[in-house]
Amino acid sequence: MLQETLPSYSLQKETQQSRYCACKHCLSQPNISQWFDSHFNPAIHPLLSKKNVNLSAETLKYWNKLQPYYVPPPFLTVMEKLFQLFPGEEQYMDRGPSRCRSCAVVGNSNNLLGSSYGPQIDDHDFVMRINEAKTAGYEHDVGSRTTHQFIYPESAIDLGSNTSLVLIPFKTRDFEWLISVVTDGSIKATYRRVPARIQFNKKKVLFYNPAFMKYVQERWTKTPKCPSTGILVLVFALHVCDEVSVYGYGADGKGLWKHYWEEVAGTMHLSKHSGNTEYRILEMLHDAGKIKLSKGNISKPK
């Protein structure tokens, strides 16, 4: 059974080595978990920027397989348009002994209801939410702050001016959609209808790196299925944060994979992803002392 505190052995080993951050627990500290060290590659940056926009042929081949129904325009042509409209600077490359960045990764599981996690979620430096995650009316359980919202066109929502939009591009069309959102609004559909306009701060836009998606699938999930947004965000946090707390992942007490704001009974569709495999990764990260996994109100879900 998982414990809600970090294993004591990690503290003992950390004190015997040079510090990798200013936090009490530095998740990037090596030689604590052989399993973690065999998966974690700090050299790969999760964000696409002007500096690393020239993706390798191997990465482009992998990424283009995620969009077999669509013949995209040349990748660099789209990137040129993109970085004329949005910032493309490197960010979060400041890991070191003087930094302590705490992050809450908040999933959308129904097990959040009745958890009373809101205050502790809001107490983190970064609060990362996924897709259509809602806070209004659920603040006591899920918190009210959002520093980073990870979306793609089919899950896009309006965002506050203090929230960074992090686009997870599963296809070139996703980049084209965001360009359209701030220009002519011409893209109203991908494989289904998407909003032609959304509200967000153009100065706070970040782009998930396709090379990092490949890394997550090949080094972490190790399955033929595309990683879910949930595991993509979690591994992102491992690379830009020093302490990571995870909330709202996994099924509720009835075994349902259901969003906490859904009124009707039903389960999330996980056929495209490997939900059980991904949740096991979270448990192993917790057991290794790399994250704190809070399991929510799994006994009496609403």
Whether residue 298 has pLDDT greater than 50: yes
Residues 106, 133: contact at Cβ < 8 Å?
yes
Contact residues for 6 (Cβ-Cβ < 8 A; gap 6+): 25, 289, 292
Contact residues for 13 (Cβ-Cβ < 8 A; gap 6+): 29, 31, 32
Q: What are φ and ψ of residue 119, in 5° steps?
A: -60, -40
- Report yes or no on 299 lying in a domain: no
Residues 204, 163: contact at Cβ < 8 Å?
yes
Whether residue 266 has pLDDT greater than 60: no
> For residue 84, which amino acid is it?
Q
Q: What percent of the chain is predicted at pLDDT more than 90?
A: 78
Task: Give the CATH number, domain containing residue 242.
Answer: 3.90.1480.20
Tokens at 250, concatenated: 């996994």
Domain that includes residue 167, residue range: 8-89+102-293
Q: Collapsing DSSP states into helix, strand and coil, what is residue 128?
A: strand
Q: Which pLDDT score is estimated for 299?
A: 57
Q: What percent of the chain is predicted at pLDDT more than 70?
A: 89
- Report yes or no on 97 lying in a domain: no
Torsion of CA 137, 139, 145, 148, to 10 degrees: -70
More confident site: 270 or 199? 199
Q: Look at 138-147, 154-163, 256-265 and tell me which has the smallest mean pLDDT.
A: 256-265
More confident site: 13 or 50? 50
Give the span between the Cα atoms of 76 and 55, in whole angstroms. Answer: 9
What are residue 165's DSSP bridge partners? 149, 205
> For residue 40, which amino acid is it?
F
- Report yes or no on 300 lying in a domain: no
Residues 234, 246: contact at Cβ < 8 Å?
yes
What total of structural domains would you count in the chain? Answer: 1
Q: Which pLDDT score is estimated for 265?
A: 52
- pLDDT digits 0-9 by tens, 112-125: 999 999 999 999 99
- Report yes or no on 302 lying in a domain: no
Whether residue 169 has pLDDT greater than 80: yes
If one counts every other C-beta atom within 10 angstroms of the C-beta of residue 194, the result is 20
- Report yes or no on 95 lying in a domain: no
Q: Which pLDDT score is estimated for 56?
A: 97
Tokens at 2, concatenated: 């998982």
- Report yes or no on 18 lying in a domain: yes
Average pLDDT over the chain, rounded to an integer: 89
- Report yes or no on 243 lying in a domain: yes
Contact residues for 12 (Cβ-Cβ < 8 A; gap 6+): none
Q: Which pLDDT score is estimated for 302?
A: 40
Q: Which pLDDT score is estimated for 270?
A: 44
- pLDDT digits 0-9 by tens, 215-249: 999 999 999 999 999 999 999 999 999 999 999 99
With 0-12 / 13-18 / 19 or more C-beta atoms within 10 angstroms meaning exposed / middle / buried, residue 155 is: middle
- Report yes or no on 15 lying in a domain: yes
Q: Tokens 């809001």 label which residue?
A: 122
Whether residue 13 has pLDDT greater than 70: no
